[in-house]
Structure 1
Amino acid sequence: MSITRIAAIGSGYMGGGIAQVLALGGATVRLADVSGEVAHAAFERLVAESERFERDGLFAAGSTGILRERLQPSDSIEEAVADAQYITEAVPESRAIKLATLARVSGAASPDAIIGSNTSAIPIRELAQSVVRPQRFLGVHWMNPAPFVPAVELIPTAATTAAAVDATEELLRRAGKTPVRVADAPGFVANRLQFALYKEAVRVVDEGLATPAQVDEVVSNAFGFRLALFGPFAIGDMAGLDVYLASYASLAAEYGERLEPPATLAAMVADGRLGLKSGGGFLDIDAADAEDLVAYRNRAYVALSALRNELGPPPGL
């Protein structure tokens, strides 16, 4: 199914950004919120925001005209979802609000309409309990800010049909996003990793090892710099899994169980799978690609440094 008619339920910061992306991706998007007045005000805000983005070169020329044509504020949720093929729910991150909204949406929508919930951490199986025909329901977790961050996590439940996931993935790719299918668990992948880092960063500050500004400087200029281009497994395979294992031994000696080496990592090193230098690691990168990968990495880091120098420091930081 090629999706061309969408309802966006929740027109705030995230919901509005999602609506912009999907409209610019070729669909007609009806906005709905707690009232028609809120939806109409959101439409005006999103159009004005698009004008600023165009002036700043963040949106392509002509984007605002497209949004004026394809974004349509609705007077009610029921009106918005009436003929929608796909419904994106982005109401506040509250179980009660989301459950009530999803029950209302799914009760008014076409039986075949796909419903995607944008939630940061609530398990999708919990939200599915309030959805009529939950086989057409899945989590669709956008990143903030929605117009500019590529990844979107797709989180089906055991009941979600393959057709619903496939159609949602095709919609997102058409809108220029990078959908990634992950399993249903609190926080999914992105926020589980992000909040684990944040907790350890706060602990570093609490222990007096560095100030918040110093932590941010280290992260953004060290491993965070690399993470702009590669995920943790690619970085680990390039660095050497034996190096990682030895580092964990030092960390565990000081910090205990929370930084013990993962058993899978230890087993991999014991088997001689050390990453790029041994021709096998978590990602099984072909040894024939090793030289080209390292050359790409080096060029990419130089290009990223040049971009950062061009942009200058973030205002106020």
Structure 2
Amino acid sequence: MPMIREVTVLGAGQMGSGIAQTFAQHGYMVGLYDIESAAVTRGLAGIEESLSRFVRKGSLSEEDKSQILQRIHPSTDLNIATRSQLVIEAVPEKIALKTAILKQLDDRCSQNTIFATNTSSISITAIASATRRPEQVIGMHFMNPVPIMPLVEIIRGLATSVDTFEQIQFVTQQLGKTGVEVQDAPGFVSNRILMPMINEAIYTVYEGVAAPEAVDQVMKLGMHHPMGPLTLADFIGLDTCLAIMETLHQGFGDSKYRPCPLLRKYVSAGWLGRKTGRGFFEYDE
């Protein structure tokens, strides 16, 4: 397979823009695609602000920042992916959306192009089966915020080839990340452990055991967590938390993964956390 030099990221949201920034920071040419121009504009603004924070901290120069931004090419045209050796989808956590966009790229991309998915819980095997290249589909689950967090879960689907795995493992190292191989199971390792903890924290609020501030304080001061579970849920996005819990519940068929009704209520209300200004806590714009 050809060496990976150009990458296209599908989805310019928080995760997609973070992935694009990280690749550009490490010398890759990056296409950043979203179906809406406003989303691409927001994604680029987020990348610029993130790089500016590195500049203010002294870990990046203004010249470095300028060069990194020049390596990112925004687009609302899916054909931007045709030159890439690696395409990473970071669209919302719905299998129908993920498979639909990868199906479109099957005909447009080289037969050697690797399709990686940043899904946080959905079966890699199921996503791969919707393409004509299941041996070149792999999970590449980045942690948020992507430019800072050192972990990438690398998940092989049933048909993922050794060559594909080794290429993604190498690219992950080039990004300065630690790639950890895990098996294709609902939630993989990270969210199979993290999300039930967050869900249980929500249950303690739902059942009146403690207020959100108290729950987070207990976990920060008592368990030495850097961030309370409810603050973390707001940071991730309550809609994403709900989608992952539903995947776990459906995948395992075990009632211990049942999403808390309060989580469903907040999502229905549009209280999704930081990105909407309100979740378990309120945030300024």
The bucket for the TM-score relative to the shorter chain is: 0.7 to 0.9
Match of 1:98 in 2: 98
1:9 paired to 2:14: no
CA deviations on 1:48-81 (whole Å, 9 max, x unpaired) are 3245323432852244222222111235112x22
Q: Are the counterparts in 1 of residues 7 and 87 from structure 2 also a CA contact under 8 Å?
A: yes
Q: Which residue identity lines up with residue 150 of structure 1 in the other structure?
A: P
Q: Are the counterparts in 1 of residues 52 and 65 from structure 2 also a CA contact under 8 Å?
A: no
Change (3 A) 1:205 1:114: same
RMSD: 2.5
Aligned equivalents of 1:179, 1:60: Cα separation in 2: 25
Q: Are the counterparts in 2 of residues 39 and 74 from structure 1 also a CA contact under 8 Å?
A: no
CA deviations on 1:200-224 (whole Å, 9 max, x unpaired) are 2233334444322122112112324
Match of 2:20 in 1: 19
1:198 paired to 2:198: yes
Q: Are the counterparts in 2 of residues 43 and 73 from structure 1 also a CA contact under 8 Å?
A: no
SS in structure 1 at match of 2:18: helix
* Corresponding residue pairs, total: 228
Match of 2:149 in 1: 149
Change (3 A) 1:207 1:8: closer
* Structure showing greater relative contact order (alpha-carbon pairs closer than 8 Å, 6 or more residues apart): 2
Aligned equivalents of 2:48, 2:104: Cα separation in 1: 30
Match of 2:32 in 1: 31
Aligned equivalents of 1:190, 1:17: Cα separation in 2: 19
Q: Are the counterparts in 1 of residues 13 and 43 from structure 2 also a CA contact under 8 Å?
A: no
Cα deviation for residue 42 of structure 1 reads 4.8
Q: Are the counterparts in 1 of residues 219 and 225 from structure 2 also a CA contact under 8 Å?
A: yes
Q: Which residue identity lines up with residue 71 of structure 1 in the other structure?
A: I
Cα deviation for residue 122 of structure 1 reads 1.3
Change (3 A) 1:180 1:102: same
Structure 1 stretches of 5 or more lacking a match? 228-257, 259-314
Aligned equivalents of 2:152, 2:45: Cα separation in 1: 24
Q: Which residue identity lines up with residue 211 of structure 2 in the other structure?
A: T
CA deviations on 1:200-249 (whole Å, 9 max, x unpaired) are 2233334444322122112112324499xxxxxxxxxxxxxxxxxxxxxx
Aligned equivalents of 1:119, 1:77: Cα separation in 2: 19
Structure 2 stretches of 5 or more lacking a match? 228-255, 257-281
SS in structure 1 at match of 2:52: helix
Cα deviation for residue 167 of structure 1 reads 0.9
Greater Rg over alpha carbons, structure: 1
SS in structure 1 at match of 2:111: coil
Match of 1:66 in 2: 67
Aligned equivalents of 2:122, 2:30: Cα separation in 1: 25
Instruction: After TM superposition, list the pairs within 5 Å mapping 1:79-158 onto structure 2.
Output: 80-158=80-158
TM-score when normalising by structure 1 = 0.65
SS in structure 1 at match of 2:9: strand
Change (3 A) 1:45 1:103: same
TM-score when normalising by structure 2 = 0.72
Match of 1:277 in 2: none
Change (3 A) 1:224 1:164: farther
Change (3 A) 1:211 1:29: same
